[in-house]
Copies of this chain bind each other. A is one copy, B any other.
Amino acid sequence: MQLHSFFNSSTSYRVRIALALKGLPYDYLPVDIRTGAHREPQYVANVNPSASVPALVDGEFHLGQSLAIIDYLDARYPEPRLIPLDAHERARVLELSYLIACDIHPVDNLRVLRYVQDVLGASPEQKDAWYRHWVAEGMAGVERLLARDAQNAEGPWCFGAQPTLADCCLVPQIANAQRMGCDLSAYPRSLAVYRHALEHPAFELAQPQRQPDYRV
């Protein structure tokens, strides 16, 4: 398999965690989204019509969108399973994952921050306030979801005794928020999961600073 990835992309980071948890080897193909490599006609035509990272290549099959990729990996390589089979358990895992993947990350990603600054003319302070506003809104919801079920309130993962898709989404989001200087002290349960996860070899391997295209 091949993964088109950018070291600092949260969505690429999610898939790197999933691949590492499943112990699947892959070739790492860097796509520099800062210079617009994900919009190059050849990449869009041959790799990913969504014009984004990550993109997985599994034989002849090309697939974009991080959560679709992780679902696909779970179907093809089900050990260990990242999205539970039980209807209620999977609902809880997906609910938290989507809160991050739909309500927090898209509003704070690179292309949106650039538009806020370059087109709307926001100051650096306004851009930072924008970022923190959506993190604060979303993380408050994450913390409430984690606290809802007593058996999850103890951790160490978001749900149950093993990492799931929810952890694949939470860890990159928190890493991103820390990089942007957000105060996360109001989300102790989320931070505890994050710290626990980083001690796991799969999460450690998937970090931005461990990727071949990493730079400061």
Contacts and interface: CB of A to CB of B under 8 A. Distances in A.
A164 B200 CA distance: 37
B61 A88 contact: yes
- Could you say which interface size class chain A belongs to? 35 or more
A57 interface: no
Given A68-B95, A91-B72, A95-B65, A44 B144 contact: yes
A190 to B, nearest CB: 13
A50 interface: yes
A20 interface: no
Given A50-B99, A106-B103, A90 B115 contact: no
Interface of A: 44, 49-52, 61, 63-69, 71-72, 75-76, 87-88, 90-91, 94-95, 97-99, 101-103, 105-107, 112, 115-116, 119-120, 122, 126, 129-130, 133, 137, 140-141, 144-145, 148
10 contacts: A61-B91, A63-B95, A67-B102, A68-B91, A68-B94, A68-B95, A72-B91, A102-B106, A107-B112, A116-B120
